[in-house]
Structure 1
């Protein structure tokens, strides 16, 4: 990362002012995330559930739902994408429609339906809000770190499950999405001992921030040469550079069977990024992994809706490694 701004210096007049404003806007929006409300609960599916709160690894209070299933011997711990809460994202209404409409993601995503499917398949479910999202506590000055700070929440959820007398003997599977998937990979890198009895991982649409920002540059007409300057501004806000926040190196620490899936033509990233994350996951007979692509859409949100629309492949993966 450079410490000067030569590429911005050579841009003159109004173009420079526009680029400077856009860089600051992108850096600000990248560093802090708007919270979304919890508009749905498992009660809509006639499910018994418990409102729970538990500490992250660093003590940040996390809010969630525990949805028990009769005679279940496995719990699926579910987290969520950036900007979402455990209940989803109301991107069909303002201000989220304006936030995501340019990428076609102006539809509601109701993630509670996923909880109902997992419950009906015979799993306990713990769904929780990451720090700075939903009803969970504010932490780290409200900064979003692409999974670095949020990895503490993944570890907190594992500690919580193991601390409950009614869950100490259950098997654990993880269903992690986007920011939540990145956080899981960073947690596996930093504290591998916490994943000793985790049976498998489903990772929905993990993402490298640099790639997402490159696509944002394309939409805004920003020269790619200004990426180093954006990197500098983000580091001044968060203390992390874009390469620090890439989950690719962390993926090398995965030690559980892992299923990754992604919208192939997602306008917010490129297939090469998810492929690189997947390729970094160790691959041998004792550690199976799979990657599948969702075709026929450019909308990232369709990836988050995939499980509730076509659950069989993911349910089969969970069953294979937990039953």
Structure 2
């Protein structure tokens, strides 16, 4: 019993609530893109570090964020110590730069930022990660930044909100709907509910019956229950055309959870694409960098 409790404490006190920062190993100039390092405040003042990648002559802008525990670059899970942190065979690099390159070459400006407590952005809230609750302020800050720059304010805006970034976007849509009035659409790879991911992790540890103990530990650290940070209720306030992608057999989640998030979105113009033939979550993050066709098709349809 004591060993099980220590395992739960380690799981919750580690990656589930305290993201490990990663180095930024690639920059846009390596892919032939001119860019500017910019910084802007989150809604609560936390400094966020970002890349502004302009596509001269274009009035279309994609604002991109990232999953836990990644950064605007991606995640160096081909290197230690990050390689050992991720289960399920996800021991290869996630690099978002080819995705930005595909968007840039298709005529899209890109603004991509590190969330609080990730990458090079500022510390906030004692360093804890809240599965979109506090991180929603970063989404709001990115949209406020767009409106604050005369060269960006009139652009058509689309969102590329990945995993945790997608969860945070749904929360922001609920709390700050006025900021999304001019957003044309969203692409949301791999949204997830913590109860489901925690259940999968506990099951792999032989502790499938200890979800209540995990929930208690999560609340002691964050003051939230695992169900309070679920994106499903927040997704009910998404009012933009949304394209969700997910590795169907991802060992870290279950298809019915992603289906429930998709079903909660109350718009008719939405799409769910299952990535087949893999159990690795990271394949959901490398899919568009390697196969950008559907990504570009969705943005072209709604921002053309």
Listed one character per residue, the Cα deviations across residues 17-70 of structure 1 (whole Å, up to 9, x for unaligned) are 220111110120111111111110001012110000000011000000000002
Partner of 2:97: 112
Q: Structure 1: state its 5+ residue gaps.
A: 1-15
Partner of 2:259: 275
Partner of 1:5: none
Q: How many correspondences in the alignment? A: 303
Q: Does 1:127 find its partner at 2:108? A: no
In the alignment, the residues of structure 2 paired with residue 283 and residue 144 of structure 1 have an alpha-carbon distance, to the nearest angstrom, of 29
Paired residue secondary structure (2:57): coil
Q: How does 1:286-297 map to 2 (within 5 A)?
A: 288-297=269-278
Structure 1 stretches of 4+ with a deviation exceeding 4 A read none
Listed one character per residue, the Cα deviations across residues 81-133 of structure 1 (whole Å, up to 9, x for unaligned) are 10101001000111111111x31100001111111111001000001000000
Shift of 1:283: 3.3
Q: How does 1:113-192 map to 2 (within 5 A)?
A: 113-192=98-177
Shift of 1:308: 1.5
Partner of 2:79: 93
In the alignment, the residues of structure 2 paired with residue 93 and residue 202 of structure 1 have an alpha-carbon distance, to the nearest angstrom, of 28
When Rg is computed on C-alpha atoms for both structures, the one with the higher figure is 1
Paired residue secondary structure (1:177): coil
Partner of 1:306: 287
Question: What value does the CA root-mean-square deviation take over the aligned residues?
Answer: 0.8
Q: Does 1:201 find its partner at 2:186? A: yes
Partner of 1:76: 62
Paired residue secondary structure (1:225): helix
Compute the TM-score of the two structures, normalised by the length of structure 1.
0.93
Q: How does 1:201-220 map to 2 (within 5 A)?
A: 201-220=186-205
In the alignment, the residues of structure 2 paired with residue 52 and residue 112 of structure 1 have an alpha-carbon distance, to the nearest angstrom, of 17
Partner of 1:52: 38
Partner of 2:229: 245
Shift of 1:243: 0.4
In the alignment, the residues of structure 1 paired with residue 270 and residue 25 of structure 2 have an alpha-carbon distance, to the nearest angstrom, of 34
Shift of 1:225: 2.6
Q: How does 1:55-66 map to 2 (within 5 A)?
A: 55-66=41-52
In the alignment, the residues of structure 2 paired with residue 297 and residue 20 of structure 1 have an alpha-carbon distance, to the nearest angstrom, of 32
Q: Structure 2: state its 5+ residue gaps.
A: none
Listed one character per residue, the Cα deviations across residues 135-159 of structure 1 (whole Å, up to 9, x for unaligned) are 0000000000001100000000000
For the Cα contact (< 8 Å) 2:46–2:122, is it kept in 1? Answer: yes
